[in-house]
Amino acid sequence: MKESELLQQVQDALTVTETEDGAMTVIQLAAALNISAEKVRIRLRKLMEEGTIELVRVPRKKMNGIVAPVVAYASVKRSEDK
């Protein structure tokens, strides 16, 4: 699979995410795409450089029941020109 195809898969996964806040962690993306977390991180860096995704902090419930902010990624919302 070509690099551009993998980049598109990561971007597509973030665009159609079913999470309430529209963001996914590296682990969630790796599981959804069936690739390693390191490969996801490499692609995320490229997409961030392009400005198509952004780093966000979102609340997630931990295993101990405590809700705490975690680092996740979301598609950049672009306002359409009128």
Is 81 inside any structural domain? no
- State pTM to two decimals: 0.74
Instruction: Identify the pLDDT of residue 3.
Output: 64
Amino acid letter at 6? L
Burial of 3 (0-12, 13-18, 19+ CB in 10 A): exposed
- Cα Rg, the chain, nearest whole Å: 13
Residues in the chain, pLDDT under 50: 81-82
Instruction: Identify the pLDDT of residue 67.
Output: 93
Instruction: Identify the pLDDT of residue 81.
Output: 35
The CATH number of the domain holding residue 52 is 1.10.10.10
Instruction: Identify the pLDDT of residue 82.
Output: 35
Look up the domain containing 20 and give its range: 3-75
